[in-house]
Amino acid sequence: MTATVLRADDARAPTLLTGGWRVVGESWGARLRLDEPPDLARFERLVERARRTAEIRELHVTEAAAIATLEADTHADFPVTPATPHHLRDAAATAALLRAGFRAFGAVLQGRLLAVTIVRAEGESAETDVTAVTRDARRQGLAAGVKAASVLVLAAEGVRTFGTGGAAINAGSLAMNRAVGYTVEERWLSLAPPADGA
Ligand SMILES: CC(C)(COP(=O)(O)OP(=O)(O)OC[C@H]1O[C@@H](n2cnc3c(N)ncnc32)[C@H](O)[C@@H]1OP(=O)(O)O)[C@@H](O)C(=O)NCCC(=O)NCCS
């Protein structure tokens, strides 16, 4: 299926829908904008909460295999849309990503990786690539904690705007990002043309 992704408020969307295009996915984009100077107390609190469960820290390229395993173990839990795919990466691909400048922050308990967020930072902006928490460690503040840890580290390096996104049906991800401080700024529609089995 070849889907076209448009902002929900794009003037072309109503015309396409009237013409038989179908919504096959909905997604959102959210931003967290830090003030100058940034107030980081919220992120410090989130990291502190997560530290009651696990060590929260930046991950190294030598931990790429553990990151890839966590992503593979949670792959089925990612609600994907054409705009929010989840591509599996093996250890080598994950290592290449980190060598290319992506940053990973994780929650580690007794040598086991429980949570990861991977972020790409460029200048004053950063964008989340993926966040995942192993099933048995959810709802303990680990996703919020690793994302907050990435904000603390990258804010110290000058990043001021953080972006993230996900599928509309991923209520957990949306709620978690709101808990970190993200605000939804865009909503997106994935539209399939009538020829695709309508
Ligand atoms: C989404 C995901 C990363 C959340 O991880 P988590 O560690 O459970 O999230 P946290 O515990 O940090 O959640 C922080 C807050 O977000 C909200 N939240 C998290 N998951 C939620 C859910 N499933 N439903 C409703 N609210 C949720 C809660 O307010 C929570 O705080 P609380 O537990 O004190 O009420 C995890 O469920 C996951 O790995 N899912 C599969 C992969 C995925 O969808 N990743 C995101 C897309 S990139």
pLDDT tens-digit readout, 65-88: 999 999 999 999 998 888 888 889
Residue 185 CA to residue 28 CA, distance in Å, equals: 8
Token couple for 84? 């929010």
> Which tokens sit at 169?
């049906």
For ligand 1, atom 5: residue with the closest CA: 143
Residues in the chain: 198
For residue 13, the surrounding DSSP H or E stretch is helix 12-18
Cα separation of 74 and 14, whole Å? 36
Residue 198, pLDDT score: 44
Cα 42 to averaged position of ligand 1 atoms, centre (Å): 17
92 Cβ inside 6 Å of ligand 1? no
Distance between CA atoms of residues 69 and 74, nearest Å: 9
CA nearest ligand 1 atom 43, residue: 78
Q: What does the pLDDT look like over 90-113, one tens digit per residue?
A: 999 999 999 999 999 999 999 999
Average pLDDT, the chain: 95
What are the pLDDT digits (tens) for 13-51? 999 999 999 999 999 999 999 999 999 999 999 999 999
Is residue 157 over pLDDT 70?
A: yes
Nearest protein CA to atom 33 of ligand 1, as residue = 139
What are the structural domains of the chain? 4-188 (3.40.630.30)
